[in-house]
Amino acid sequence: MKKLLTLALCALSVSAFATTPSIEDQMSYPPQPPLLDFPNWWSVIAYNPQNGAFGYGEGDMIKPAQNKALKDCELASNDANKQHCQIVTEANHACVALATGDSPEKYAAVRKFRMKLEEVEQEALAACKMNSANCSITFSACGK
């Protein structure tokens, strides 16, 4: 009888424990915010400091944008120095600017997020003027 009573008490306590909701079941969580999916949009500038040629590429994938910028730079170089084309700045959903000075090797390339095109151009000019007295914007663009 003692064994039967012990067995009944154990079964009762286990069934009571199993039906009691856990703390986690009783808590309510706020709904997850929606995931924002912004597609990429790359802006890339390639520049040749040997002759001042440049190229620009943009697109939703970085590699094709880089390849386009380099190809355009090489086409603009149209001389033996085309192998000197190099990526000088790239950005995703941002503005890019290239400022050049008195000679092709005096340049500055800038990328900035959450800025207006004019502000990025001013930064590029300021950076260029650290190496050259006369600087101008050669190219600038803002990604989508």
Q: What is the pLDDT of residue 124?
A: 98
Q: What is the pLDDT of residue 126?
A: 98
Q: How far apart are CA 61 and CA 9, in angstroms?
A: 67
Q: What is the pLDDT of residue 33?
A: 75
Q: Contact 51/81 with Cβ under 8 angstroms?
A: yes
Q: What is the pLDDT of residue 143?
A: 80
Q: What is the pLDDT of residue 83?
A: 92
**CA-based nearest residue to 135, from 114, 113, 110:** 110
3-state SS assignment for residue 144: coil
pTM: predicted TM-score of the whole model, two decimal places: 0.73
Block means of pLDDT (10 residues each) for the chain, 144 residues, are 54 54 66 73 96 96 98 92 94 96 96 92 98 96 86
